[in-house]
Amino acid sequence: MGTAKQTEEWFKQAEYDLGTAEAMFRSRRYIYTVFMCHLCLEKALKGLLSKRGHVPMKSHDLVFLLDRIGADIPEQHAEFLEMLNEVSVPTRYPDELDQMVAQYPRKRAAEILELCREVYTWLKNCL
């Protein structure tokens, strides 16, 4: 697969994952909303890496991927990626489900989903 095709595929998958995050939000599965936001942005970052001629590495670390791209990202987007990076593993593998669900009520999940949309749009506009 060529670089353009790979980039297109990464962004297609990122868009699909964003739709899944929205579906999880509508079904009140808020920790999975957060998880899918992470996955969406991970794939978008890998799409940008691909666009710049790099083979995306098998990493889930959003900060690492962003550093590899070297984009001049707005500070608020970088801060959001850092926060999302930190909560990724706990939302995937919570020690206590009830505690994790309590940490991500509807309002918090809505904020994360909205910020995810903003960062995704910014990343897509970097193509």
User: How many domains does the structure of the chain reveal?
Assistant: 1
In which band, very low, low, confident or very high, does the pLDDT at 126 lie, cut at 50, 70 and 90? very high
Domain holding 106: CATH number?
A: 1.20.120.330
Check residue 54 and give its pLDDT: 85
Domain ranges, residue 96: 3-125
pLDDT 10s digits, 90-99: 888 888 999 9
> What was the pLDDT predicted at 17?
98
Q: What is residue 57's predicted lDDT score, i.e. its pLDDT?
A: 79
Q: What is the tens place of the pLDDT at every residue in 17-48?
A: 999 999 999 999 999 999 999 999 999 999 99
Q: Name the pLDDT band for 1 (thresholds 50, 70, 90).
A: very low
- Quickly list DSSP for the chain: --HHHHHHHHHHHHHHHHHHHHHHHHTT-HHHHHHHHHHHHHHHHHHHHHHTTPPPPS---HHHHHHHHT----HHHHHHHHHHHHHHHHHHS-SSHHHHHHHS-HHHHHHHHHHHHHHHHHHHHT-
